[in-house]
Amino acid sequence: MVQGEWDSLAERAQSGDAAARRELAEAWAGILVRFFEKHVSGEDWGNAEDLAQETLLRLFRELNRGRYDPSRSFYTWAFTFARRVLIDEYRRCAREPKHMYLIDVFTIPESRALDHEFMHALQQCLDEVIATELRDAIRRYYWESQTLQQIAAALGMRYGALKGRLDRARGELRKCMERKGIEKL
DSSP-assigned letter for residue 106: G
- 133-175 tens-digit pLDDT: 787 787 777 666 678 888 888 888 898 888 888 888 888 888 8
The per-residue pLDDT for 12 is: 93
Helices 159-179 + 148-155 axis angle, to 10: 100
- 36-80 tens-digit pLDDT: 887 776 555 568 888 999 999 999 999 999 999 988 888 888 888
Q: Cα Rg for the chain, rounded, in angstroms?
A: 22
Q: Classify domain 3-96 by CATH architecture.
A: Orthogonal Bundle (1.10)
Chain region(s) in the chain for CATH 1.10.10.10: 101-179
pLDDT over 90 at 95, yes or no: no
Give the whole-angstrom CA distance, residue 69 versus residue 76: 11
Specify the fold of 101-179.
Arc Repressor Mutant, subunit A (1.10.10)
Chain region(s) in the chain for CATH 1.10.1740.10: 3-96
